[in-house]
Amino acid sequence: MTRDKDLLALLERRDYDAVLEALMLRYGQKALNLAYSMVRDHSLAEDLAQVSFVKMWQALPRYDGRAQLSSLLYTVTRNTCLSELRKRGRTVSLDALTDADNDDDAAPLSLADDVDHAGRADDSYDVQKLLDGLPENYRQVVSLFYLEDCSVEEVAQMLDVPLNTVKSLLHRGRKRLAAVVQPLEKAS
């Protein structure tokens, strides 16, 4: 709240365009990161992030100051992306994360047969391909973790899930990725 305290004066003056401009400067990249971690498509992420900001602009006159503006933006962005994913027949449910508490040693990635394609090329990995093999919830947390400079706290705030849930998902997601690339690392 402290960070956005200066925006309250703009809100009182009903200068919603200025508030939105400031929000875009402060949280625009984060909204894009969040959208991208969910839809994994650059142009779609841009489109949905823009829609989210328009929705924020519409919601600003009703803003009562109780929630942080950034939290509100993340919620709007998440819901916009979820709605789009539902339209496209894809679902992301962070609620399902807690149900996966006991599957730490679950079956390996489904892309095991594609290891050669996901594996090293010029001493690197095809991360896109590797991430494609992860369950959606793991993939989202792992992607957002790296997009957000490896800040677990930031990821938890953006996804509005407990810190321990993010840590657990991140651990399992990366463990699965490591299991896939381990044969390649040994071979090299």
Partner 1 sequence: MKHEPDDFSRQHPALDRALRDQVKAPKMDGAFRQQVFARIAAQRAELARVAASPGAALARLRTQFVLQVLNLGAIALVAGLLLRAAWPTLEPFAASMSLEMSFVGSIPHSGLALSMTAAAAALAYGLHRARLLGWVRGLGL
Residues that bind partner 1 (CB under 8 A): 17, 20-21, 24, 28-29, 31-33, 35-37, 42-43, 45-46, 49-51, 53-54, 57-58, 120, 123-125, 127-128, 131, 142-143, 146-147, 149-151, 171, 174, 177-178, 181, 185
Identify the CA nearest to 111 among candidates 91, 127, 92: 127
Distance CA 121, CA 39 (A): 25
Cα(117)–Cα(105) distance, integer angstroms: 24
**Of 51 and 100, CB closest to partner 1:** 51
Min CB(46)–partner 1 separation in Å: 5
> DSSP characters for 35-79?
HHHHH--HHHHHHHHHHHHHHHHHHGGG--SSS-HHHHHHHHHHH
Q: How far is the CB of 105 from partner 1 (least distance, A)?
A: 17
168 φ/ψ sector (left φ>0, alpha ψ -120 to 50, else beta): alpha
Shortest distance, CB of residue 113 to partner 1, whole angstroms? 19
Residue 188 has which token pair?
């090299």
Nearer to partner 1, 52 or 165 (CB): 52
Closest CB 40 distance from partner 1, rounded Å: 10
Largest CA distance in the chain: 64
Minimum CB distance to partner 1, residue 95 (Å): 24
Q: Which is nearer to partner 1, 27 or 97 (CB)?
A: 27
